[in-house]
Copies of this chain bind each other. A is one copy, B any other.
Amino acid sequence: MMDQNSNEFSKNGEECVVVKALEDGVTVIGVTRGTENKILHTENLKKGEIWIAQFTEHISAMKIRGVATVLTKYGKVDSGK
């Protein structure tokens, strides 16, 4: 991870997503960037927990399941309703 390419991914970090679980079992799934889009990481949230995640060198998409409040740069969206 400490190769020359890692120089740039901090800029990528400027975009993030904030998820607040409104029920137990909300999942935030990070999907890989690149020629294949596979699940890289699944985070399970309990009711009331907040998850703040940046897009990274490895993650270019996220899927939110369950009742949650989602904050993006385009504003607030409610999932699971």
Contact = CB atoms under 8 A, between A and B. Distances in A.
Interface of A: 1-18, 20, 30-31, 33-35, 37, 40-41, 43, 45-46, 48-58, 60-65, 67, 69-81
Contact of A52 (B7, B8, B72, B75): B72
A5 B4 contact: yes
Copies held by the complex: 12
Contact of A2 (B5, B55, B79): B5
A51 B63 contact: yes
Nearest to A54: B60
A31 B31 CA distance: 16
18 contacts: A1-B33, A1-B34, A7-B7, A9-B33, A12-B13, A13-B60, A18-B74, A30-B37, A31-B43, A34-B58, A46-B65, A48-B67, A49-B64, A50-B63, A52-B61, A56-B60, A71-B72, A72-B74
